[in-house]
Chain A
Amino acid sequence: MRIKHFISRKTSLPSYLSSDQEIQTKPAVSTSKASLRAGLFRKRTKRSYENNLAGYIFISPWLIGFLLLTLWPIAQSFYLSFTQYSLLNDPTWIGVNNYSEIFLKDQVFRKSMVVTFTYVLFSVPLKLFFSLMIAILLNKSLKGMNLYRTAIYFPSLIGTSVAVAVLWRNMFSLDGYINHVLGWFGIHGVGWIANPHTSLWTLILLNTWQFGSTMIIFLAGLKQIPQDLYESASVDGAGRFGKFIHITLPMLSPVMFFNLVLEIIGSFQMFTQAFIITEGGPINSTYMYALYLFEKAFKYYQMGYASALAWILLAIIAILTGINFFVSRYWVFYESDGRGSK
């Protein structure tokens, strides 16, 4: 419910939720007599049978896909996580063995957890910070603004491609371009990718470079802040910084929250760059969780074990998202309900 609330708020388009409630509360209004309710229900059913049918026909492509490629796989992967399975023979039930092995013995799991959490911890705030700052910079009506916006967005357009991963791999190698530029300043660079202390940072930098799409969402949020708020703040003598703290940030907090949730979820699943640029190395310093899971499942064909890894990932993402939603009460400001910060 909160998600929906939050999305309809964000878009400030007719709230989906409200039109929904209308439909659902109708039978509830005619409460007192059960018979009346039943009669009403039957009538409603008859009248809306065609509507129901048409509705389900229209959503059937999604519904079939959801049942076949999402719901059923989720259930099956949960089952598989308690089995040993290699695709060749039938899965054998081994209880919680996969999980206990992962949590108690698996050193690679621990390493990939540390790597992934480090990656998320740094790349998400960096990305949000840059995208917010640049969005504020771009939120001005100047000539040529479209051009700047396109230029800054462009890296995000191509950023997740194999091509850019290849580019990165070349630029940050020992005798790559970056080290030569550093050489001008008298800095002797290392092989950024071959060095276990720096390799993860090349990936974080690559992710930060692609702040374009979060920036566009911030920009959309900024455009929706009513100008009269700023005007009345000026009348009250607020400075530029004061306006930013007391108007821009609170008004933008729903968008910030949205970006934060999606970026965290996305960053946990980073795969292509780690696969192409660093191949998880050196000495597992960039062995991202998604990469580990992929290799367990499709290189070693330990599909039960990999399913357990997948469920742990799901649990982590769910818990973090839950915490996010919970904490959001204290800092995300929704105009209508007056809750949230200042």
Chain B
Amino acid sequence: MMGSSRLKLSRFSYHLLLIVVSLIMLYPVFWWLGASLKKNSEMRLPTLWPQTPMWENFTKGWSFSAQYTFGHFFTNTLMMEFWSVIGSVLTSAIVAYGFARLNFRFRGIWFSILIMTMMLPGQVTIIPQYILYHTFGLVNSYIPLILPHFFGGAPFFVFLLVQFIRGIPRELDEAAKIDGASVYSIFARIIFPLLKPSLVTVAIFTFIWSWDNFFGQLLYLSSIDKYTVGLALRMFVDQFDIQWGQLLAMSLISILPSALLFFLAQKHLVEGIQTTGLKG
């Protein structure tokens, strides 16, 4: 009996420790929630919640720019996200199928190269890429931000899907082949539908990563009417007299889509990362 009560105690302290760690990690976020409702003068007070919540921080912040509301910036960003996700999901699956199931010459070499590009610093390619887009008059459009997603998405996604396809029994392919199916219809009818769970992971990470691809957006989008949410926030910060409450309120709204997606598909994501043991 001694043992079990000691076990209980340690379990209790274990929970306590985890709760403390979680609270420390999330504390800035809690503070953020409160701060988004504060007046500028209240901002520096260590209270979590303001005395009178300024809900107008949200409405005023929403239309801080005289020209456009955040609705406009959200529409821009979501439009860009839509095409990025479509491109990423479709092409990463196609490429992954090629690497995972088909034998072709130099497959090993190409795959090694693909893995190596994961480690390549983007700075080495960014200047010529910019020049390329500039030559075709595509700077200040969404094309440079969307197009790369149609080239297999991030190499990481291809790698993730290759691992996943390798886990699908080959008997399925073989059976379809005996029925006279080509590799293309095997992909379209058998493998692609089975990939659905990992494709959700791909879609969500594409969404979050493009949302946070501030560097790319800063580089390629120059006119305000094309601004994304991230660029709009930066414009907000650059103002002379920053209304912090409004700015933090808008910042909070700007992470909502990513956070919502994450919580909806949370279980999915963590498993997706764990099966490959790779970075998220």
User: Which A293-329 residues have C-beta < 8 A from chain B?
Assistant: 293-294, 297-298, 303, 306-307, 309-311, 313-314, 317, 321
Contact A74 B124 (CB under 8 A): yes
Residues of B within 8 A of A137 (CB): 17-18, 21
- Pick from B14, B152, B252, B280: contact of A65, CB under 8 Å: B152
Cβ–Cβ < 8 Å partners of B159 in chain A: 7
Please report the C-alpha to C-alpha distance between residue A13 and residue B188 in the assembled complex, in whole angstroms.
24
Please tell me the number of chain A residues within 8 Å of chain B, measured between CB atoms: 111
Q: Contact: B247 with A52, CB < 8 Å?
A: no
Chain A residues with CB under 8 Å of B44's CB are 175-177, 179-180
Query: Known contacts A59-B95, A62-B95, A170-B35; is A307 also within 8 Å of B230 by CB?
Result: no
Q: Which of B14, B22, B130, B183 contacts A142 (CB 8 A)?
A: B14
CA distance A63 to B91 in the complex (A): 11
Which among A120-128, A143-151, A193-201 touches the partner chain? A143-151
* Count of chain A to chain B residue pairs whose CB atoms are closer than 8 Å in the complex: 294
20 of the cross-chain contacts (CB-CB < 8 Å) are: A3-B115, A11-B277, A51-B102, A54-B98, A65-B152, A73-B127, A80-B128, A150-B263, A161-B212, A162-B229, A163-B254, A167-B28, A170-B248, A209-B25, A209-B28, A213-B279, A276-B234, A297-B127, A310-B124, A321-B119
* Interchain CA distance A153-B113 in the complex, whole Å: 31
Q: Are B113 and A157 in touch, CB under 8 angstroms?
A: no
Q: Report the Cα distance A76→B127, complex, angstroms.
A: 9
A55 at the interface (CB under 8 A from B): yes
A11-B163, A51-B104, A166-B247 known; A74 vs B125 contact (CB < 8 Å): yes
> CB < 8 Å: which of B31, B95, B219, B266 contacts A298?
B219
Mask, B100-119, CB within 8 Å of A = 1, is: 00111101101111111101
Task: Give the contacting residue for A216; candidates B18, B103, B127, B270; CB below 8 A.
Answer: B270
Determine the distance from Cα of A66 to Cα of B114 in the docked complex, in whole angstroms.
8
Q: Inside 8 A of A138's CB, which chain B residues have their CB?
A: 18
Chain B residues in contact with chain A, CB under 8 A?
11, 14-15, 17-19, 21-22, 25-26, 28-29, 31-32, 35, 43-46, 91, 94-95, 97-99, 102-105, 107-108, 110-117, 119-132, 134, 148, 150-152, 155, 158-159, 162-163, 166-167, 183-184, 187, 208, 211-212, 214-215, 218-219, 229-230, 233-234, 236-237, 244, 247-248, 251-252, 254-255, 258-259, 262-263, 266-267, 270, 273-280
Pick the contact of B110: A63, A162, A268 (CB < 8 A).
A63
Min CB distance B265 to A, Å, is 12
Chain A positions within 8 Å of B, measured between CB atoms, are 1, 3-4, 7, 10-11, 13-14, 16-17, 20, 23-24, 48, 51-52, 54-59, 61-66, 68-70, 72-74, 76-77, 80, 87, 134, 137-138, 140, 142, 144, 146-158, 160-164, 166-167, 169-171, 175-177, 179-181, 183-184, 209, 213-214, 216-217, 219-221, 223-224, 255, 258, 261-262, 265, 268-269, 271-272, 275-276, 290, 293-294, 297-298, 303, 306-307, 309-311, 313-314, 317, 321
Distance, CA A314 to CA B219, complexed state (A): 20
CB distance from A332 to the nearest CB of B (A): 15
B14 and chain A: residue at smallest CB distance: A142
Query: Do B110 and A163 touch (CB < 8 A)?
Result: no
Question: Given contacts A3-B112, A134-B21, A272-B214, is CB(A157)–CB(B258) below 8 Å?
Answer: yes
Q: A9 CB to closest chain B CB, in angstroms?
A: 10
What's the dominant secondary structure at chain A's contact region?
A: helix
**CB neighbours of B247 from chain A (8 A):** 166, 170
Known interface pairs A65-B148, A163-B254; A54-B183 also in contact (CB < 8 Å):
yes
Chain A residue numbers with a CB within 8 Å of B91 are 61-62
Bound together, the chains give a CA A3 to CA B19 distance in angstroms of 38
Q: Are B107 and A58 in contact (CB under 8 A)?
A: no
Apart from A20-B108, A272-B215, list 12 A-B contacts with CB within 8 A: A3-B112, A4-B112, A59-B104, A61-B150, A62-B158, A63-B110, A72-B128, A161-B214, A161-B230, A255-B277, A269-B121, A317-B121
Residues of chain B with a CB closer than 8 A to A156's CB: 280
Chain B residue at minimum C-beta to C-beta distance from A290: B123
**Contact B208–A157 (Cβ < 8 Å):** yes
Chain A residue with the shortest CB-CB distance to B107: A55
In contact, B151 and A64 (Cβ under 8 angstroms)? yes
Q: Which residues of B contact A310 (CB under 8 A)?
A: 121, 123-124, 126-127
- Tell which of B44, B132, B134, B259 has the most Cβ of chain A within 10 Å: B44
* Inter-chain contact B127/A307, CB cutoff 8 Å: yes
> Closest 6 CB pairs between A and B?
A65-B151, A55-B104, A58-B98, A62-B152, A163-B251, A73-B128
Q: Which residue of B lies closest to A58 (CB)?
A: B98
Partner of B103, one of A23, A170, A294: A23
Given contacts A216-B280, A219-B274, contact A167 B32 (CB under 8 A): yes
